[in-house]
Amino acid sequence: MHCPFCGYEDTKVQDSRQVEEGTAVRRRRECERCMRRFTTFEKFEDSPLVVVKKEGRREGFSRSKMMAGMLRACEKRPISIEEIEEAAYAIEKKLRNCHEREVSSSEVGEAVLEQLFNMDEVAYIRFASVYRQFQDIQRFMEELHELIEKRGSINKRDQPK
């Protein structure tokens, strides 16, 4: 494995562990020349998952692109990168398990919203405001009221009787 920093060919593995329910291996490596550390992933290559955009254009599913949107929504929130990675993996797994080679961008967006709803209310609203393209404060307030109603029903169920 070449060092991404200095290009040296010899790197040594410092630590390996299984991730994504054993379907991938995460390796921490160290360059023997510049001594910098970096992470690599070894993963089973699955058939491509294609996302169909609203206007009909198709592009390959990109977990990193999806995670970038989630990271923006979770910015300055008490959510670890590991939690976001786990949520992104769960979304990708759900999309691949539907046994379709093509999924709509709206399916991806709704799956992200579902994960963020369970993680953090503010991140959920941030993502929803971009994904659902709120045009005015009224639509924003409607989404907030829906969130409050959903959270209220969840909180009522969780309370002991």
The predicted pLDDT at position 46 comes to 67
Domain definitions of the chain by residue range: 1-45, 48-155
- The stretch 132-154 carries a mean pLDDT of 82
Q: Give this prediction's pTM.
A: 0.65
Question: Which of 37-41, 124-128, 133-137 has the weakest average pLDDT?
Answer: 133-137
Residue by residue, DSSP assigns 90-137 as HHHHHHHHTT-SEEEHHHHHHHHHHHHHHH-HHHHHHHHHHHTT--SH
Q: Are 93 and 50 in contact (CB under 8 A)?
A: no
Asked if pLDDT for residue 33 goes beyond 90, the answer is yes
Asked if pLDDT for residue 27 goes beyond 50, the answer is yes
The predicted pLDDT at position 157 comes to 38
Q: Are 49 and 61 in contact (CB under 8 A)?
A: yes
Radius of gyration of the chain (CA): 20
The predicted pLDDT at position 154 comes to 53
φ and ψ at residue 71, rounded to 5 degrees: -60, -40
Residue 89's nearest CA partner among 41, 57, 151, 27 is 41
- The stretch 65-74 carries a mean pLDDT of 96
Percentage of residues in the chain having pLDDT higher than 70: 93
The predicted pLDDT at position 51 comes to 96
- The stretch 25-54 carries a mean pLDDT of 90
Percentage of residues in the chain having pLDDT higher than 90: 66
Asked if pLDDT for residue 156 goes beyond 70, the answer is no
